[in-house]
Structure 1
């Protein structure tokens, strides 16, 4: 196998979030917006880099001012941009976001024919895919061609080169023709993954199991070949990390939420940063010990909590020093 010079590479959407203000105002009534770099896979790549990992990104932006900004953001955060392509014909994808009174986002995508949807399998940087310990993707890039085929081909190439595959359903029903199409395609993608991170609502949507334990069991054993590690985020109730035969609960840190837009991606970045080191040792995810799951969960939950205290997605992602300081502050908490 080729040498692994990157810990995590994300493939998929990178875009501009226009976040509305004031908070608590429905998107239809928002008049003021603030620009923020975003897109789930891009958020994860930057999150890993800020936590001290070696990160890369594969995706497409337009040859426009927004594409210039996104490339600059990745470069300033030390993310490998060999896989960032510039489309000569299509513009960078835009998303408008409003936050309700609990800082939960409402999205409207301007994504028809935009750059991120036009990533083609022939454009994939094979040397980047061969160099990563972990490849991460989400379901957003599976909603339209040719990005869907490019994403699945990236998964195939990375796995063939020995990478662990990470998947976030990141359910956005407005991007799918109907609920059943979304469910079927997301489950097919989940079957290709070794690691899945999802929230409690997505777990119910995919498995039909109202009880979390049953839903986790359904994902771990009900799809083939299927994931070896599941993480379920539950907001203020914390998170659960599970593999076959072992499940650990991670408490949430009490914070005042300003914006939860990037919290799930911050969680994923923290978890993958921790798991990349274990993967680099040649360990199998099914052999993870309880202390290792707790470590990954603590890092992930702390990164997510800190991200909630700031507006935006990428602008809110914490640094390694911030997370380590917060973990030390909370070590005396029961169960943390």
Structure 2
């Protein structure tokens, strides 16, 4: 099969784990109190990093039939990695790694890999037809340490060779995983051992590309002199491209004979950045290098891209989540000056955030039942039981499911006070989930939970989008405006640090003058102070000029913004449908997040016991369906006219 006919650029083979990263830095692992959960394992990281850079990647591994294994599979799907080779092992648990950042040199880590799923890979797990679809297979040193994974790696390598593909060897030397150090020395990168050298050297004759740090070159080449080690590797792999990673000094590549000095090899510019975390830098380097090598770029370009990806990742917390996207890599390689402390470059970090979000939404239609005070008003009006409110919100979720039937273009806005049970149920669906943070009707803005909003968001699942309603006017009295803006900046910072998306709902306060440009001025002002919400939720406007101004404001300040959804303001259904006709003309508007127009009358009747659960679900679904169909008709009419 010709290389250009391959449907996958790369399949990586081997380790797949969950990384539990200590969130406190500058201390012992013993003193870390909380941990962030990330995708982990060198070949898994490389597959995800390659996908972010535009490669078509797949992974051959085993994960447990457990929550962590499902997390790995789901995250790989989000990253765009082919998971046909991610096999579930019912008898073993998914591997775990606990890691910490102590200082710029020491990164303690513990491998929980006793009888783990990925080390149980067997040669029979290799689907040779699937392997044949790939232009290359990447194997790594860790999976040569036990007979079954050794044979599996070689079978995959031989299969891709037989199909006209290439073999990449990531030396990936962890002495602890060869039983050469104590289990508390996972960060140790080098222990000289002739048996390990001999085992690793058995595969080099198959390899077209061999990549390792100087220490890894030493173990593969059997010498602590790097040039001597490279020459030994060259003897076994006369035609392979050898790449030696040199940390802050970048890398050097050797397509032919090994010269007397490393400086005589092929190299490219390195990038000086502050080192925050070296873990994962090698996997990022590999992803960047392969983005070039698998696409036929010059070796110098491959080196530059690898160096750049490694520099980006060492500046951040985590391995896989820190990997750059292609858009991000292009931005990094531009001529713009960037600070040595790279993670303080807010523009660059925003590109990373916005280009690694899960899913792209061309449409979003949301039933908003996150209201709290309005439900209490209905209870007072009807004499209903306030303890029934949570159950009504589960009925609202049922109504969304009735209309959506699993379509992930739908969503629901639910609060944690009355909507806790519905939020828990929503976790089993693929719908967009939003959740409010503001104290209802507060102006100036107050957060409902705690003054330190970040401590609240740490307790929210990552797929909960933070919704904040602010009654805001660009011409507010300066003290009021500044108080609200400080709150919004505090929230924005908390959302980014806790990895939550932010939907900012802006409503112009009643009684203040406004015109067709007021909402756009508010949007521009909030961008100017440093806010970049993932979503805007804005009032329906009948004037196309107003929406044109809003579109321009968003496009000029954040072209990576997900878009705008319309709120309802309890407008009559006919009025809301008319607003769709105008809004649908503007691509920045993705749909709506409407509440009271749909639920208010239904909730009143239900709380007053005039209708039962099934009638309430049917009524909510009917009203939601009318709005969804109207929005889609309006958008389709615009597209047809275009």
Cα distance in structure 1, aligned partners of 2:217 and 2:176 = 18
Which of 242, 251, 260 is residue 278 of structure 2 equivalent to? Answer: 260
Describe the superposition over 1:247-296 as per-residue Cα deviations: whole angstroms up to 9, x where unpaired: 21223211122221111011111111111122xxxxxxxxxxxx811111
- The structural deviation recorded for 1:228 is 1.2
The CA deviation string for residues 205-258 of structure 1, in whole angstroms up to 9 with x for no partner, is 3324444344333322x21x4551011111111110111058212232111222
Could you tell me which residue of structure 2 aligns to residue 58 of structure 1?
Answer: 60
Give 1:195 shift.
0.6
Residue 329 of structure 1 aligns to a residue whose secondary structure is: coil
Alignment correspondent of 1:138: 140
| TM-score after normalising by structure 1 | 0.88
**What is the aligned-residue RMSD (CA, Å)?**
2.0
Distance 1:330 1:133, change over 3 A: farther
Report whether the alignment pairs 1:313 with 2:319.
Answer: yes
Give me the whole-angstrom Cα distance separating, in 1, the residues matched to 2:330 and 2:143: 32
Change (3 A) 1:234 1:10: same
Please point out which of 79, 91, 94 is paired with 1:92: 94
1:80 aligns with 2:55: no
Indicate whether 1:116 and 2:128 are aligned.
no
Alignment pair present for 1:235 and 2:247: yes
The 1-side partners of 2:19 and 2:54 are apart by 25
Unmatched 5+ residue regions in structure 2? 181-192, 258-263, 338-642
Partner of 2:217: 203
The 1-side partners of 2:147 and 2:227 are apart by 35
State the distance in 1 between where 2:51 and 2:275 align.
23
Does 2:193 match 1:191? no
Shift of 1:79: 0.6
State how far apart, in whole Å, the 1-side matches of 2:197 and 2:28 are.
27
User: Structure 1 stretch 158-167 or stretch 138-147: which is displaced more?
Assistant: 138-147
The 1:29–1:116 alpha-carbon spacing in structure 2 relative to 1, beyond 3 Å, is same
Gap change, CA 1:302 and 1:88, over 3 Å in 2: same
Task: Report the CA distance shift for 1:226/1:96 in structure 2 as closer, same or farther (over 3 A).
Answer: farther
TM-superposed deviation, 1:190: 2.8
Q: Is the 8 A contact 2:194 2:222 kept in 1?
A: no
- The residue that corresponds to 1:158 in the other structure is 160
Q: State which drifts further: 128-137 or 321-330.
A: 321-330
1:287 alignment counterpart: none
Query: Alpha-carbon deviation of 1:104?
Result: 4.8
By relative contact order (CA 8 Å, sep 6+), the higher-ranking structure is: 1
Whether the 8 Å contact between 1:59 and 1:116 is mirrored in structure 2 is yes
CA contact (8 A) 2:171 2:220 kept: no
Bigger CA drift: 264-273 or 291-300?
Answer: 291-300
Secondary structure of 2:83's counterpart equals strand
Distance in 2, Cα, partners of 1:309 & 1:128: 36
Give the whole-Å Cα distance in 2 for the aligned partners of 1:8 and 1:107: 28
Give the whole-Å Cα distance in 2 for the aligned partners of 1:107 and 1:24: 14
Correspondences of 1:167-186 after superposition (within 5 Å): 167-178=169-180, 179-186=193-200
Contact 1:95 1:109 in 2 (8 A): yes
Aligned partners of 2:108, 2:155: CA distance in 1, in Å? 31
SS of the aligned residue for 1:71 comes to helix
Report the number of matched residues: 317
Cα deviation for residue 329 of structure 1 reads 2.5
- Whether contact under 8 Å (1:219, 1:227) holds in the other structure is no
Compared with structure 1, are the counterparts of its residues 91 and 175 closer, same or farther at alpha carbon in structure 2 (3 Å cutoff)?
same
Hey, what's the Cα distance between the residues in 1 that align with 2:29 and 2:221?
A: 31
Q: Does 1:272 align with 2:290?
A: yes
Q: 1:31, CA displacement in angstroms?
A: 3.9
Question: Counterparts of 1:270 and 1:35 in 2: how far apart (Å)?
Answer: 24
Question: Map of 1:30-49 to 2, 5 A cutoff?
Answer: 30-49=32-51
User: Contact conserved, 1:139 with 1:170, CA < 8 A, in 2?
Assistant: yes
Compare CA radii of gyration and give the structure with the larger one.
2
Matched with 1:282 is none
The residue number in structure 1 matching 2:268 is 250
Offset at residue 203 of structure 1 (A): 1.8
Given that 1:104 and 1:261 are in contact with CA atoms closer than 8 Å, whether structure 2 keeps it comes out as: no
Q: Is this contact kept in 2: 1:193–1:226, CA < 8 A?
A: no
